[in-house]
Amino acid sequence: MHGDLKTNAELIHGLLKNLEHKHNTDVAVCVPFPYFAQIQNLLTNTDITFGAQDISTHESGAYTGEISASMLHDFGCNWVLCGHSERRAYHNESSVQVASKVKTALDHSLSPVLCVGETITERKDGLVEHVIAAQMAPVLSLTNTVNMAQLVVAYEPVWAIGTGHTASPEQAQQVHAFIRAELNKRDLNHVRIIYGGSVKPENAAALFAQPDIDGALVGGASLDAKTFADIVLAANL
């Protein structure tokens, strides 16, 4: 829940300027709903796409305050975060509800970014794989009914989000390898797995160098155009 008309415009202009012809990665910004029209205008004819931070599982109707997939489409939105830890923690979104959001996105040709990750207590208790597997299970069970081609998984350890504590590249790689294995069991070998949790220009290259880290989900560092651009450039192959 960051941004306003003025700073959004500055951020996007700064990002486009810093990235012009310099990057070879997929870059998207996930913006609060009220700014969709602004961001759509700012990103027209650029190589940056945009996404939402949540989606309703309902098509339309008496669901006050909800935002549907078709509303996202109206503005040319391509991506949607599903089950960010803050949605899980503050809005009690269960993994089953999150999976239903993932399904809604996939059914409407949006790319869902499924966020999974353990708390520090769960890590200390040796429950990382157990927690991640449980968060992924309802999504993986969609495999036979939904085309999963556009799925992206984001590993975001809760203890690393907004805290300045990043998982080390080795810690992140270990969990990414586990997620990859879970996906491979369902023949979802193509799915991109990105890391989130205090990603900065200083740690991005080491994270991207890991074999199973395909990108980043950036929070705080994306609020500064130069810093975000430097993370994108660290992903150049």
Residues annotated as catalytic are 84, 156
Which is nearest to 102 in space by CA: 62, 152, 63? 152
Q: Which stretch binds ligand PGA (CB under 6 A): 38-46, 174-182, 213-221, 226-234?
A: 213-221
Site for ligand PGA in 160-179 (CB under 6 A): 161-162
Q: Which stretch binds ligand PGA (CB under 6 A): 24-32, 40-48, 118-126, 214-222?
A: 214-222
Site for ligand PGA in 128-157 (CB under 6 A): 156
- Give the rounded distance of the alpha carbon of 121 from its chain centre: 23
Based on the shown chain and the rule CB under 6 A, indicate whether residue 117 belongs to the binding site for ligand PGA: no
* Cβ proximity to ligand PGA, 186 vs 200, nearer residue: 200
> Phi and psi dihedrals of 147, rounded to 5?
-75, 115
Contacts of 90 (CB under 8 A, 6+ apart): none
The residue number whose beta carbon is nearest to ligand PGA equals 219
Give, rounded to a whole angstrom, the gap between the first and last alpha carbons of the chain: 32
Number of helices (H), then strands (E), belonging to the chain: the values are 10, 7
> Phi and psi dihedrals of 146, rounded to 5?
-125, 145
Q: Which stretch binds ligand PGA (CB under 6 A): 14-22, 143-151, 191-199, 228-236?
A: 191-199
Residue from 14, 220, 224, 233 in contact with ligand PGA (CB under 6 A): 220
How far is CA 29 from each of CA 42, 77, 91, 137, 222, rounded to the nearest angstrom?
12, 10, 22, 27, 9
Q: How far is the CB of 202 from ligand PGA (least distance, A)?
A: 13
Contacts of 136 (CB under 8 A, 6+ apart): 114, 116, 153, 179, 182
Based on the shown chain and the rule CB under 6 A, indicate whether residue 82 belongs to the binding site for ligand PGA: no
Structure letter (DSSP) for residue 222: G
* Cβ proximity to ligand PGA, 2 vs 73, nearer residue: 2
Q: How far is the CB of 219 from ligand PGA (least distance, A)?
A: 2
Based on the shown chain and the rule CB under 6 A, indicate whether residue 182 belongs to the binding site for ligand PGA: no
Residue from 219, 229, 231, 232 in contact with ligand PGA (CB under 6 A): 219
Distance from C-alpha of 157 to C-alpha of 149, rounded to nearest angstrom = 24
Based on the shown chain and the rule CB under 6 A, indicate whether residue 112 belongs to the binding site for ligand PGA: no
Binding residues for ligand PGA, rule: CB under 6 A, are 156, 161-162, 196-199, 217-221
